[in-house]
Amino acid sequence: MFSIFVLLTYSLLVSSTLTFDILERDLGDAIGKLLLINDNLYLGTSHSLSRLSSLTLNRTLNAFEFDANSHLKVLLSLPNERILLCGTSDQGFCQILDKNFQIIINSSLPIVANDPVNSTMALIIPEKNLVYFGVTYTNEGIQRWQIPNISGRSLNTSRFMKIVSINDNDDMISRDDLALRFMSRQQTTFIVQYVYSFYTKNYIYFLTNQPNDLEQKTLLTKIVRFCRDSTYSIIRTYTELPLVCVNSDWILKTADISYDKNNKQILIGHFTRKDGTGGTNICSWNIENEIDQAFEDNYRTCYSMGIGQRGLAFIKPNEPCRKDETWSVPLNDENICPWIISDRLPYPVGGATPVLGRILYESLIESSSVVKIYSFDSSTMLVFQGLTNGTFKLGSLDVGRNLDWFYSYQLSSTTPILSDVIYDKKSATFFLASGSKIYRLSFSSDCTSRLSCDECLSSSNNPLCGWCTINER
Ligand SMILES: *[C@@H]1O[C@H](CO)[C@@H](O)[C@H](O)[C@H]1NC(C)=O
Ligand SMILES: *[C@@H]1O[C@H](CO)[C@@H](O)[C@H](O)[C@H]1NC(C)=O
Ligand SMILES: *[C@@H]1O[C@H](CO)[C@@H](O)[C@H](O)[C@H]1NC(C)=O
Ligand SMILES: *[C@@H]1O[C@H](CO)[C@@H](O)[C@H](O)[C@H]1NC(C)=O
Ligand SMILES: *[C@@H]1O[C@H](CO)[C@@H](O)[C@H](O)[C@H]1NC(C)=O
Ligand SMILES: CC(=O)N[C@H]1CO[C@H](CO)[C@@H](O)[C@@H]1O
């Protein structure tokens, strides 16, 4: 059996022959969100949601309209082909729709950021039936104070979008609930942009661009973490560290998660210059061995050695770290949550030592809008880079984390490629949006005409045809 590694290396030589079927549609309005659920491709513009056939890109339903001056902030898939939609009409709405745009439930609580650019990140935790929001402060409207900076909200239709409370089931927002609020006097000055979020078995993470702490106003990229076990309040287990790719002139633009050959999660961060002059740096981190280890070392410095300040004075007034003779985490314990929940220990704990990324790619001139990573087999990952001028590049990342670009293509649109890039493994198809256009790029046509993968590999000169191995052909 050929491996994709061989194919992609080979493709360096034959990249000129790489072929795909391309289909495009112009929606007439700038596309801001993309979501694929089975054969339905959902596209959000600022004031409507459309459903297209993923095969033909033809509309399969009348568009679902929102208020003309609203901003769509969240478009995510829920089990049973349902959709979670949040936007800013009337200071905020979140809704669950079925695949035919029938409203299953409404909420009119203010939940998301309410201007076009400031961010809202939402992360669904399926087994708990809840969704975490990281919301950037915006000063439009009078209800902004009701929105915590980070909150865990219920997806249960009987308590839809209520902040999950640990102790009770009533509607009181207790201090121990799944909500994190910054100190109120920092409200308009301490702005945290939430860029990405993901979870592992034990933790929830947000990636942010923010000031380091109260005394330092310069912007830097941070990784925020708290425990996934929602019987702890967020603030008890909240911690953050700077995340650096190359140096602190660069801040995070987009990020993505994939798995390496040992099935360990890898974080890919795409950084751009802080001063707005573009450039693209791509770094990677092994989440367990590098990021979680750095958090553990930082806790050890504070709790076991008693060195430095606890920090994070924008959440709770600062105080010195305290040495606790008995504090230790068992070796190789991947879940340190039970050890940091102790009334004797100060919390939340910040840190100043950055977690440095491994540099995969540096370009001082390219401006990118998105970088994505896909793992296909144990030895190679595919890297997708979308540029701000409508060009995309494909590269292969080998086990030694060497990145080779083997293909680039200019779309008919010359505006930035939307950060919601979808790759559908089943059909070896990319869905990209740029400006008001949606593109369907299928690399599978050569594959599907073959009887078996081996035949496909030996008789096709399409190097990406190796993706048919995923379809078990
Ligand atoms: C999709 O739309 C195109 C025109 O845009 C039309 O020619 C084609 O027949 C449609 N396909 C289906 C399956 O409706
Ligand atoms: C949700 O809100 C919309 C608009 O306010 C309303 O038309 C609709 O009837 C509501 N649906 C449900 C299920 O509450
Ligand atoms: C984001 O929100 C802040 C605070 O309200 C505001 O100053 C800033 O202009 C907003 N950014 C954009 C691009 O709207
Ligand atoms: C929703 O909440 C109700 C009442 O709290 C509970 O009985 C029900 O099991 C919950 N449903 C889900 C899907 O969690
Ligand atoms: C887009 O940018 C890339 C990298 O800077 C460049 O190679 C390419 O020629 C540009 N394409 C267009 C159409 O300007
Ligand atoms: C979204 C947001 O910024 N929420 C809050 C963050 O914390 C400050 C201080 O408590 C609040 O004023 C914001 O409303």
Residues 452, 456, 457, 461, Cα dihedral to 10°: 180
Q: Indicate whether 218 belongs to any domain.
A: yes
**Nearest to 133, CA basis, from 123, 142, 147, 141:** 123
Backbone angles phi, psi at 327, to 5 degrees: -75, 125
What number of other Cβ atoms are within 10 A of residue 325's Cβ?
A: 7
- What is the CA(246)–ligand 4 centre distance, in A? 47
Q: Whose CA is nearest to atom 9 of ligand 6?
A: 184
Beta strand pairing status for 250-259 and 239-244? Answer: unpaired
- What is the CA(108)–ligand 2 centre distance, in A? 10
What letter represents residue 187's amino acid? Answer: Q
Number of residues that make up the chain: 473
| Residues within 6 Å of ligand 5 by CB | 365-366, 387, 389, 391, 410, 414
Q: Indicate whether 270 belongs to any domain.
A: yes
Q: Whose CA is nearest to atom 13 of ligand 4?
A: 156
For ligand 4, whether the C-beta of 129 sits within 6 Å is yes
Q: Indicate whether 15 belongs to any domain.
A: no
For ligand 4, whether the C-beta of 158 sits within 6 Å is yes
Residue 340 lies in domain: 28-386+397-408
- What is the CA(58)–ligand 1 centre distance, in A? 6
Q: What is the CATH number of the domain that holds 158?
A: 2.130.10.10
Tell me the pLDDT tens digit for each residue of 93-102: 899 999 999 9
Q: Indicate whether 421 belongs to any domain.
A: no
Q: Indicate whether 236 belongs to any domain.
A: yes
For ligand 2, whether the C-beta of 12 sits within 6 Å is no
Number of domains the chain contains: 1
> Which of the listed residues 80, 156, 230 should we mutate to test ligand 4's pocket, taking the one with most ligand atoms within 8 A of CB?
156
Q: Indicate whether 443 belongs to any domain.
A: no
For ligand 1, whether the C-beta of 56 sits within 6 Å is yes
> What is the rounded CA–CA span in Å between residue 245 and residue 230?
31
Q: Indicate whether 416 belongs to any domain.
A: no
- pLDDT tens string, the chain, 473 residues long: the values are 232 332 333 333 334 456 788 999 999 999 999 999 999 999 999 889 999 999 999 999 999 998 878 889 999 999 999 999 999 877 778 999 999 999 999 998 889 988 888 899 999 999 899 999 999 988 777 777 788 999 999 999 999 999 998 765 544 445 568 999 998 876 677 899 999 999 999 999 999 999 988 877 789 999 999 999 988 899 999 999 999 999 999 999 999 999 888 889 999 999 999 999 999 999 999 999 999 999 999 999 999 999 999 999 999 999 999 999 888 888 778 899 999 988 889 999 999 999 999 999 999 999 999 999 998 766 778 899 999 999 999 998 887 888 999 889 999 999 999 999 999 988 889 999 999 999 999 887 655 555 555 555 454 444 455 555 554 54
The stretches of 307-369 forming alpha helices (DSSP H) are 337-340
For ligand 4, whether the C-beta of 80 sits within 6 Å is no
**Consecutive H or E run containing 237:** helix 234-237
User: Three-state DSSP class for 421?
Assistant: coil
Q: Angle at the Cα of 432 (from 430 to 437), degrees rounded to 5?
A: 140
Q: Indicate whether 92 belongs to any domain.
A: yes
Buried b (16+ CB within 10 A) or exposed e, 160-192: bbbbbbeeeeeeebeebbbbbbbeeeebeebbb
> Which of the listed residues 368, 391, 409 should we mutate to test ligand 5's pocket, taking the one with most ligand atoms within 8 A of CB?
391
Q: Whose CA is nearest to atom 9 of ligand 2?
A: 103
